[in-house]
Chain A
Amino acid sequence: MASTQLIARGPGKATRRHASLVATLLLVAACGSSTPSDAPASGGTASEGAAGSPTATDPAATRGPVTAASLTIAIPDDPGSALNIYTANQQFDPLIDLVYDKLMGPSPYVDEPQPLLAESVTQVDPSTWDVTVRKGVSWQDGRPFTADDVKFTYEYFRDGIPNRYTHHTNDAPDIASIEATGDRTLRFHCSYPCPELGSVTFADLPILPRHVWESVTEPAKFTGLPIGTGPYRLTEHAGGQYLRFDANDAYFLGKPTVDQLVVTITKDQDATFAALSSGEIGIAARNVPPELIAGLAARPGIRVVSTTPLTSVMLRLNYERPPFTEPRFREALSLAIDRQALVDTILLGQGRPGTQGYPHPDSPWTNPDLSTPFDPGRAAALLDALGYTDTDGDGIRENATGGPISLDLQVTASEPARIRAAELLVGQLNAVGIGLGVRTADAGTIRSLFGSRDFDMYIDQGFAHELADPDQFIESNRSGLAWRAGLAYPEWDRLVAAWEQTTDVEARRAATFDLEALFNRQPTIIPLWYPNESWAFRPDAYDGWSETRGYGIVNKWSFLPADARAGRIARTFD
């Protein structure tokens, strides 16, 4: 019997031209800013170790303080609530993670998460795990953290009002029971083998304080400031304006490096980078678009670093609507798309073509042998074999009843890169005889297509939870996102049955790889590209940044001392 033990030890062209013009103007104007570039900006108040005059070309010269009294961070969207995990969606996970901890960390997206609130987690048998929680940890209100809080959280998510974690406690995996076996120990039983519980589930679910949440019957209406065990306490939430976090000096991994974080909501991209240039903010917590990277990097006092995000821009296909019901058609569609051309034209090379399939190639749970190449010849051959031929000579194939193979593609109107991708896809699919019409809609409408099923295809962006959490991959093939439970797919069902019976983590990984290989042979989701991600910040405000895969650089590990980061995070930039 396998036994695992982990012991505690990290646009359309015109639009883009316009955006570039305005951004360039903003940057040029900012060069005349009254804020001296070699003085600490108001975006952060350095408390020690300020560097000398920084330059853009020599990163070493821009090294700034790794501690600060305060730091202002601009985020593009409003979490709405005071980080209530029932209403704040997953894009705010890095902020939620400042307040809450998980049993394991930093996330389920790394190969070997390390114990965090857990002292140790041990797989006893294929369906049973023992957890010992860390000693001496307190909630931010001073109450002691106990194993009972862990038991309460998992049961609250599993049995209470559903939230986004619920299906990770009652389906994949299915935690049948949790029993207290001692003051600091718990035993988790699953209804079928759950070898990934230690490295995925325990690294995914934030732990809530029982004394706060046990009386909450309508969790979505909970408006209190959150109490966690994390390194920062949310002390003020001004709706639509900002969130203020104060350091939890008693944090069990050490005193945070920045005393206060002010997270301001700044929706406009150009205004955000202007505020960075003027020193009003210390970091822009948003991706720097490819066309702005060079200009920002050349600006004295600003540093731009790149990370590897677990995101992908993808085509979602309606596999319940012909011709997508035919697996070979979906395969032909994938083969007809020149993803390299999309990256070269739209991203100016700042990304990777989506030729390594779905979910994300950088996830430790993604089959490294996946390949989704561009092969229009094979695509045409597959379409021929399906009987789709151009009978009227208009360049578009017809099906057996004479109807044209003409598809509809919907795109978010506020995403110029995706609109441009749709325009390019028209030409690429036309080249193999598939007609394509493009429509734009607001983000809310695009998001609703998943439920209404009123679409042929739409372009969407997937994030880390979908693209790097192996349990979510299973769920996505049950929820309707990639496939729907109950829709016949014998080959998939056979592989899932085998997946369920795997008893150790490596066997489960191998079974996941098999599922992914099948998925990418007849995909219902086609990655177009895996974006690069760049972050712009002022080293003179704060320069202790580190990357946590899937969370970018604005994450709690960037504000923890070096010994707390060791072994848990991917990369540091300080």
Chain B
Amino acid sequence: MVRRVAVRLGPYVLVLWAALTISFALPRIAPGEPLDYLLGYDAGVLSAEERSAVLAQYGLDRPVPEQYVAYLAGIVRGELGTSVRTGRPVREMVAGRLGWTLALAIPTLVLALLIGVPLGALAAWRRRRRTGVALTATALLLTSVPAFWLGLIGIAVFAAGLGWFPVIAALPLTTSGPVVVLELARRLALPVLTLTVGIAGWMLLTSRAAVEATLGEPYLQLARANGIPERDILRRHALRNALLPVTTNAGLTLGALVGGVVVIETVFSVPGIGSLMYASVLARDYPTLQGAFLVTVAAVIGANLLADLAYPRLDPRVRRSGR
């Protein structure tokens, strides 16, 4: 049993270590250093001792191998260091931003799955009819529209124009108690819907391709021969067997949403992980970048692990081959 778990988790641990090492190395390889942000052009008048004194506040005066060891040891202890840009503990900053990101990512993924998967199955089922062609064409169009552009149009029409939603998500809350949830939902509705449009399109295309691949399978012909209604064949047999690629896609999408929606966060002023990462890149804020990367990597790996664990439940063939 232990061996099985180790075999299953081993590659994930290896990937995590590699990703953490890359996230440590990349910012340091990039041109520039934190002093450029902290002191700007005044950094040029500092003596070597003065430079060390400034960097020592963040442990960045030590040799790089020593910083690397301290970084890995810090992760084990749950310490991510201090942000160069803000002076605050990185753990605290990342935790503050993660809530916003998850508030965007999870509803987006759920909505995209609820909309995209059934419509994709329908598109495959009726692939030679108008419905299938129209659904596929619409999905292709929606996935081609840049999210930031869609977001700006959404702001123009639904926020600035009709006044249904606010333009800025991150203003101080004006309500308290349980109503806060409704207030936040109103603020995040437009960015979530904007993201959902494109991702639902992807889900539709994935689901369509997966269902289409099952259509010629003998078990579907057998089901028809047994007189099972078409709707049940689609739902219980075709779609069920198409869930593996959809699950993989959902896992990858969740990982990407955690760190990769900086444009939407920018357009709607949502203070998530993506915008934190962007600001940290510009400031060469190594500790914060490392912390933000860690969360993103953990999200991607975690989502894939979940997908991996879900496969045997979704497909008995995987379960049997795993034994």
Contacts and interface: CB of A to CB of B under 8 A. Distances in A.
A451 B168 contact: no
A281 B155 CA distance: 15
Interface stretch (A217-225, A398-406, A531-539): A217-225
A363 interface: no
Interface in B51-76: 53-54, 57-58
A278 B31 contact: no
B41 A479 contact: yes
Contacts of B83: 80
Sorting the interface of chain A by its residue count into under 10, 10 to 19, 20 to 34 or 35 or more gives 35 or more
B36 A163 contact: no
Interface stretch (A21-29, A352-360, A365-373): A21-29
Contacts of A90: 40
Sorting the interface of chain B by its residue count into under 10, 10 to 19, 20 to 34 or 35 or more gives 35 or more
Nearest to A476: B41
B269 A452 contact: no
B141 interface: no
A280 B161 contact: no
A438 B166 CA distance: 40
B85 interface: yes
Contacts of A81: 85-88
Contacts, number: 214
B275 A240 contact: yes
A281 B32 CA distance: 36
A478 interface: yes
B172 A161 contact: no
A559 to B, nearest CB: 19
Contact of B284 (A32, A35, A448): A448
Interface in B243-274: 266-269, 271
Nearest to B269: A266
A89 interface: yes
A444 B281 contact: yes
A466 interface: yes
Nearest to B157: A29
Contact of B152 (A167, A264, A270, A441): A270
Majority secondary structure of chain B interface residues (helix, strand, loop or mixed): helix
Nearest to A449: B31
Interface string A462-492: 0000100000000110111100110000000
A239 interface: yes
B53 A222 contact: no
A495 interface: no
A267 B157 CA distance: 20
Contacts of B233: none
A484 B44 CA distance: 8
Which of A33, A81, A238, A239: most chain B Cβ within 10 A? A239
B156 interface: yes
Interface in A46-98: 72, 74, 78, 80-81, 84, 86-87, 89-90
Contact of A167 (B36, B45, B153, B283): B45
B17 interface: no
Nearest to B148: A268
Contact of B36 (A34, A450, A479): A450
28 contacts: A29-B160, A32-B162, A74-B168, A80-B87, A81-B88, A86-B38, A87-B38, A87-B86, A89-B37, A161-B54, A238-B271, A239-B97, A242-B170, A244-B172, A262-B172, A264-B269, A265-B271, A274-B156, A278-B160, A280-B166, A444-B37, A445-B32, A447-B32, A448-B32, A451-B35, A478-B45, A479-B41, A480-B41
Given A221-B87, A264-B170, A451-B35, 13 more contacts: A29-B157, A35-B163, A80-B279, A81-B88, A167-B45, A220-B54, A220-B84, A236-B172, A240-B271, A240-B279, A242-B172, A442-B282, A479-B42
